[in-house]
Structure formats: C-alpha cells, structure tokens
Amino acid sequence: MAVPPKPPRPPPPPRQLAEPSGIEELDLDEIEIAKPRPGPGLTLVGTVLADRYQIIERIAEGGMGTVYVAEHITIGRKLAVKVLSPDLGNAPDIAQRFLREARAASMIVHEHIVDIIDFGYTEQGQAFLAMELLEGEDLATTLEREGRLPWPRLRRMVLQICRALNAAHEKGVIHRDMKPDNCFRIKRGGNADFIKLLDFGIAKVMTEASTFRGKKPVAQATAAGTLLGTPEYMAPELARDGVPDARVDIYSLGVMMYELLTGSVPFRGETFMMTVAMHLTQEPVPPRQRAPSADIPPAIEA
C-alpha cells in the first residue's frame, strides 16, 4: 500500500534578530566604518592611493613593508610604491621618521641611487613612498643565478656603488643596510650592470621602531632585515650600539665584495646574535683562501 506524501511545511515566520533597543531610526551617514589595514591577507591592488596612484600589482613583501607597481592616473607613468608595514606604520612617530628618511634620500640626486618621487600616507594612515620603477634584478639574485662574479666585472659595479655612497655621505645620509639585495642591477644604454642603490635610512627607522616600543634593538633582532639590518653585513659599530657614520657602509660594502667574489659571506652563525658576535671577535678567512680558483687579485685581499 502506497504511503501518501506529507503535505509541505508552511514557511517559517520572519526571524526577530534582536529586540528593539529604543532607537527608532539609525542615521547611516553618521556611522564611521573602520577601514581594514593591509596585512598578510589584505592588499591594496585595485585601489587608488592618495588620489593619484592606481595600484596594479604586488611585487615584493618583507619585514619593512610591501612594494607595488602603480601608475600615476594623470600622467600615466608607472612607479614603484612602497607601503610601510602596519606593524611599523601604526605608530605615528615611526611613520614620520620613515618619511623624514625618505625626504633626506630624495634630496640625493645621483644616477646610481633610486629616485624617490613622492611620499605621504594612505587612507589607513600608513606611510608610503613612490619611486622610479626598476626593471632588472638585485645582486643577490645575480649571485644566486650566475655564481661568484669575476673581479673585472665586479670592479665596475663597486665603483658605481662607491660613487653613490659618496654622494649620500656628503649629504649626511648613511645607508646602514648595505647588502646585495639593496643593490639593483639594470640595463642602461650599453651597460647591463648599471647599479641603483635602494632603501637608504630604512635600517635606522626600523631601529627607532624597536626603541619606540621600549625594546632593546639587539635583544629583539632575531631575524634578518628586521631591526638593525642584516647581521652578515653588519659593521661592528652597529652591533655595539655605537654612533654610526659613513664607515659602517664601507664595512658592509667590503663584506658584499667578499661574498660576490667568493660566493659566501665571511661570517654566518646559527643565529642572528652568533653572526653579530663573529664580526666582533673573529678574523675572516682570506678571500683567496676561501675561493682559490676565483682569481682574486692579491691587492683586493690586502
């Protein structure tokens, strides 16, 4: 015997989400909705920054912030826009220091230093800077892809870096984080090894950020590129918390030359602080001994 189908259930009554609170009308125009701050899961791609920069794509992200390709909506020029990390940019004093360093770097007009074109704040209150967009690769990538570089070729790059540092030091600006990652190699004219220096003064801002939070930079510097710079290239003066001058950049450049000629840095410990201690207490293996087949001139080792 067939069972007759059950009649359909009547639709449920409308749900009462909440009891009336006594507020008869709600003026939506008077409500301020908090805007999400960009973080690891959020991006500015597709937005217009400061009413003039259309953010096209994200190209890099690190402890300091995020770098985007952007286009100026009026003149159509493509630029690189670096937005300070929310972890740093939420502190007004740190954002102001970041812009102050950007302003100082923008005053160094030199062909081997990246041009900083503009700086300001996003709608979320994060500091940003706009700079020329470079097409090429940093020297860390070149080393990884090609292996150690012959001295005649590296010499031409080092001379460009020295000219750029000299121009900065004459303006009283110290880089503080010289390393292959901050030396960008582009093609200009017939020169495929034209160098542009990036990120002047950023290590200073990040050191001040740790001080702002009431922390000792050395104690908190547990990851490369977060507070004091990168330990493999760090001058002893920075490790001792001394007053840095132009010599810290020269020391780091020497470490860079060592790495690019031999294929490895002179010191690398198991931790950040072990590497820093090696700079303070040990002598490096001579580069000609580290890479005997590299044909490094004796004068360079001296």
Catalytic residue annotation: 177
Phi and psi at residue 263, to the nearest 5°: 95, 0
User: Do residues 298 and 286 make contact, with C-beta atoms less than 8 angstroms apart?
Assistant: no
Phi and psi at residue 133, to the nearest 5°: -90, 125
Largest CA distance in the chain: 105
**How many residues comprise the chain?**
302
Question: Nearest-5° angle of CA 223, CA 112, CA 156?
Answer: 95
Distances (CA, A) of 166 to 12, 54, 142, 174: 78, 35, 24, 10
d(CA 82, CA 68): 6
Q: Tokens 């826009």 map to which residue?
A: 81
**Sheet holding 183-188: strands in order across?**
136-138, 183-188, 191-197
261: which 2 tokens? 């000629």
Phi and psi at residue 215, to the nearest 5°: -115, 155
Q: Which helix (H) or strand (E) holds 191?
A: strand 191-197
Question: Nearest-5° angle of CA 126, CA 130, CA 131?
Answer: 145
69: which 2 tokens? 């390709």
96: which 2 tokens? 């102001």
124: which 2 tokens? 């979320």
